[in-house]
Amino acid sequence: MRPQSYYRDDSYDDDDDDRDKYQRADEPDRYLADDYDNRKKTTKKTFPDCLFGSSKAVKPFNMQNMFETEIRRLSKTINTENSDDEINDATRQSIIAKAAVHVSSSLLSSLFCDLNGTDTENLDEFLRQFQVPEKFCSLHSKIDCDAYKDRRHISGICNNLKNPHYGSAGTPFTRIKKAVYDDGLGKRRSKSVTGRPLPSARDCSLRLFQNKQQFSRSYTNYFVIFGQFIGHDMSLAAPAKDGSGKPIACGCNRNDDMCSNVKIPPNDPWMSDQKCMAIPATAEAFPDQICSLGIREQKNDNTHFIDLSVVYGSSQETIDNFREHTDGLLIVTDVTPYKDYLPQQQSGQSCVDADDRVKCDGRVMENLVLTGIVTQWWRFHNMLARKLKELHSDWSDDELFEGAKKINVGYFQKVVFDEYLPMLLGQELTDQFFPDGPTKYDPEKIPGVWTEFSTAAFRCHSLVREWYSRATPYHKLIDQKLLWDISLRAAPAWDFNFGGLDAYLRGSVNDFGYAWDWNFADQIRHHLFETNDKKAETKRYDLPAMNINRCRAHGISSYNVYREWCGYKRAKKFSDFSDTINTEGIQNLREVYDDPDDVDLFAGLNMEDSVPGGLIGKTSACIVARQFALIQVSDRFYYEHEGVFTPAQLQALKDFTHRSFMCDTVETYSMQTDPYKPRTPEGNEQIPCTENYATLNMEPWR
Ligand code: HEM
Ligand SMILES: [Ca+2]
């Protein structure tokens, strides 16, 4: 039995004409960006009367003035709040981004007189006509890319020589479809197309999702967490910061656009002891990569490229802290006789289980398998730097560092594009989106990570399992831990009696992942980051609910819109979903949502059947395939694009097998040929690392 509604007791049987009952015939369909695009072509821009000639209208309009006044106002508030703190660059940036949003709103209120009731669909178009003055937006600044002609900049700038900022860290997520917000500007989508409130994201999660612990026999947990690692390379939604640059502390009573809290419905069987999940909003950003005004967008703190941001960071400051500054090496923690660990962070938050000396990177230590994967690429960097040093004893620290980084990123891209993606998408979609291997670099393409990709399509959270095995170097099972035991916790990594950190990596190539469906592990749906602290307002989180909530906060259109973008018909009634969702899934959706156009993207995607031959839902696969194709063609340094590697170097990267990489970077006696796939007695058996092993052939780099 699926749980009943915990939130809305007025849930009613859907009959497929509900939409018409609640929506006036002449009412614009606010949620359909495609319709918007079509209308735009045919209708002329019309603004309310009061735009011109009204006493309220600002005319002539001086953007620079409005900006300066707004920034002065905001800085003043900050100065009085934090008289001791220096205003640093990040703070200035955040003031300016805020000012942009404020100026947008005040400009709009004066031009449109009254935002309520205006045709909000035109706002974005209108605002985009104005550029933020140059001195307020660093993206205008001229950059000398000469030094980066043949190596990547740490922040991703100069990857595109024509538009140096494209794809760099701190630029906004781009979008497939125009944002839909309640007020047209940035307020989280909260209403059904019928006008009634949408159910709370937690309510959706409770009623839509289950936990049947369905395993997939086709991939390992290592494959699953590798996906998390890739996602974290491309995307880091910047958390909103307060005036002094500190992360926002959200409480359940706070109800402004800095927090995206999720309400807990009454009678929630798991969370009745908390009122909400308090969640900081994503920091706002200029709407495009050229500083126009416009409606709210979200900031990506990582480079959008696939360039191992999780390993090297996205800023000079970060990487400088982690470099040894001799021989191109990264700092490590020596745990002889085992392979090196990541360096100990000097500052930041403590891990949950540790005293104040052990700092925890919330992202790297999200789970210890992920920590292990980051460690593997860290170790590999140092292996490469040492090998390059053997070949080029005269190279400087910088040359060795950049050389090793380039090979590391190149090999990572090989694994992502040649191994991970074909398996995730299936051969059919891979052939469709990557027909002749990599396409030529195209500087006109904006290498943007789409908010729909990072907030929904690539949040493969239904694959996340409950229990995590530890295994010996001979792959004998030691024991299993709940996600909770290895999430933001350092101690198990130091537990060398049970194999230390690498025990989890070894376990992950033996464990299956969960299947793509609407089953989510209780560990992430009811117990994520659970704390025993009685005083904590948020005692635990629900990850699928957070995903749904994030979709709404990021102004993401409904699932229906993306179905259509992927070539399926836009559903007018729930049963029209039947080409992507089975009967039971459709029934689930019908019980929760008023209208097919209400279905949140994340929810819709996780009700879907998998793409034939692939491992994730049909629409997700379509979005993911297109996203990776876009990132590939807009990445000047993509490993097969001209000039990055010589043909012999490329061949060496291709010949270096994933299994040998595992043998090089994991403390293990043996490994299966394809670590993404479960070991089988024949075809994918685990064989000793001493057999059929060949490390990366460095001759072409001599
Ligand atoms: C143990 C497993 C995992 C945990 C505990 C976890 C947890 C989280 C959390 C807490 C967030 C932020 C949610 C929010 O505030 O909106 C997040 C975001 C995300 N997750 Fe996961 N995740 C896991 C596995 C995965 C996997 C397997 C994938 C993909 C293959 C994935 C892809 C993503 C992506 C793309 C984001 C957005 C990142 C951003 O833009 O900041 N995650 N995850
Ligand atoms: Ca990146």
Q: Is 227 in the pocket of ligand 1 (CB under 6 A)?
A: yes
> Residue 657: what pLDDT?
97
Q: Of 6-20, 136-150, 442-456, 511-525, where does mean pLDDT reach its minimum?
A: 6-20
Q: Is 454 in the pocket of ligand 1 (CB under 6 A)?
A: yes
State the ligand closest to the CA atom of 226: 1
Q: Which two tokens stand for residue 596?
A: 């097919």
Q: How far is CA 454 from CA 125, 174, 315, 566, in A?
A: 25, 10, 21, 17
Query: Residue range 424-429: average pLDDT?
Result: 93
Please report which confidence band the pLDDT of residue 352 belongs to, taking 50, 70 and 90 as the band edges.
Answer: confident
> Residue 348: what pLDDT?
75
Q: Of 256-270, 352-366, 448-462, 582-596, where does mean pLDDT reach its minimum?
A: 352-366
pLDDT > 70 fraction of the chain, expressed in percent and rounded: 79
Quote the DSSP letter at residue 223. Answer: H
Please report which confidence band the pLDDT of residue 359 belongs to, taking 50, 70 and 90 as the band edges.
Answer: confident
What pLDDT, in 10s, does the model give residues 510-564? Answer: 999 999 999 999 999 999 999 989 899 999 999 999 999 999 999 999 999 999 9
Q: Is 295 in the pocket of ligand 1 (CB under 6 A)?
A: no
Q: Whose CA is nearest to atom 9 of ligand 1?
A: 543
346 against 597, higher pLDDT: 597
Q: Is 224 in the pocket of ligand 1 (CB under 6 A)?
A: yes
Residue 497 has pLDDT above 70, yes or no: yes
Please report which confidence band the pLDDT of residue 17 belongs to, taking 50, 70 and 90 as the band edges.
Answer: very low
Residue 387 has pLDDT above 90, yes or no: yes
> Residue 332: what pLDDT?
94
Residue 30 has pLDDT above 90, yes or no: no
Please report which confidence band the pLDDT of residue 35 belongs to, taking 50, 70 and 90 as the band edges.
Answer: very low
Q: Is the peptide bond before 28 cis (omega within 30 degrees of 0)?
A: no
- Distance (Å) from CA 38 to ligand 1 centroid: 34
Q: How far is CA 641 from CA 413, 552, 573, in A?
A: 12, 37, 46
- Out of 202, 449, 461, give the residue to mutate to test ligand 1, the one with the largest number of ligand atoms within 8 Å of its CB: 461
How far apart CA 637 and CA 630 sit, in angstroms, is 14
Residue 300 has pLDDT above 80, yes or no: yes
- Distance (Å) from CA 588 to ligand 2 centroid: 36
- Distance (Å) from CA 434 to ligand 1 centroid: 26
Task: Please state the atom number of ligand 1 nearest to the C-alpha of residue 523.
Answer: 5
Task: Please state the atom number of ligand 1 nearest to the C-alpha of residue 449.
Answer: 40
What pLDDT, in 10s, does the model give residues 203-233? Answer: 999 999 999 988 999 999 999 999 999 999 9
State the ligand closest to the CA atom of 465: 1
> Residue 22: what pLDDT?
26
Please report which confidence band the pLDDT of residue 357 belongs to, taking 50, 70 and 90 as the band edges.
Answer: low
Q: Which two tokens stand for residue 214?
A: 């369905």
Residue 94 has pLDDT above 80, yes or no: no
> Residue 241: what pLDDT?
81
Q: Are the beta carbons of 355 and 347 closer than 8 angstroms?
A: no
Interacting residues of 411 by C-beta distance below 8 A, sequence separation 6+: 380, 639, 653, 656, 661, 696
Residue 439 has pLDDT above 70, yes or no: yes
- Distance (Å) from CA 547 to ligand 1 centroid: 9
Q: Is 236 in the pocket of ligand 1 (CB under 6 A)?
A: yes
- Distance (Å) from CA 39 to ligand 2 centroid: 36
Q: Which two tokens stand for residue 100?
A: 């942009």
Interacting residues of 407 by C-beta distance below 8 A, sequence separation 6+: 384, 653, 696, 701
> Residue 92: what pLDDT?
64
Q: Is 457 in the pocket of ligand 1 (CB under 6 A)?
A: no
Interacting residues of 99 by C-beta distance below 8 A, sequence separation 6+: 67, 70, 71, 74, 136
- Distance (Å) from CA 318 to ligand 2 centroid: 14
Residue 403 has pLDDT above 90, yes or no: yes
Interacting residues of 63 by C-beta distance below 8 A, sequence separation 6+: 103, 130, 132, 133
Q: Is 237 in the pocket of ligand 1 (CB under 6 A)?
A: yes
> Residue 134: what pLDDT?
67
Q: Are the beta carbons of 637 and 152 closer than 8 angstroms?
A: yes
Q: Whose CA is nearest to atom 34 of ligand 1?
A: 459
State the ligand closest to the CA atom of 261: 1
> Residue 31: what pLDDT?
27
State the ligand closest to the CA atom of 302: 2
How far apart CA 33 and CA 10 sit, in angstroms, is 30
Residue 60 has pLDDT above 90, yes or no: no
Known binding residue 392? Answer is no
Q: Which of the residue ranges 28-32, 139-143, 617-621 has the most confident prediction, judged by mean pLDDT?
A: 617-621
Q: Whose CA is nearest to atom 26 of ligand 1?
A: 228
How far apart CA 463 and CA 352 sit, in angstroms, is 25
> Residue 617: what pLDDT?
96
Residue 349 has pLDDT above 60, yes or no: yes
How far apart CA 567 and CA 623 sit, in angstroms, is 11
Q: Is 310 in the pocket of ligand 1 (CB under 6 A)?
A: no
State the ligand closest to the CA atom of 483: 1
- Out of 228, 460, 527, 631, give the residue to mutate to test ligand 1, the one with the largest number of ligand atoms within 8 Å of its CB: 228
Question: Which has the closest alpha carbon to 542: 157, 351, 354, 270?
Answer: 270
> Residue 3: what pLDDT?
33
Please report which confidence band the pLDDT of residue 499 belongs to, taking 50, 70 and 90 as the band edges.
Answer: very high
Residue 96 has pLDDT above 80, yes or no: no
Q: Which two tokens stand for residue 2?
A: 């699926």
Please report which confidence band the pLDDT of residue 105 belongs to, taking 50, 70 and 90 as the band edges.
Answer: low
- Distance (Å) from CA 378 to ligand 1 centroid: 21
Q: Is 524 in the pocket of ligand 1 (CB under 6 A)?
A: yes
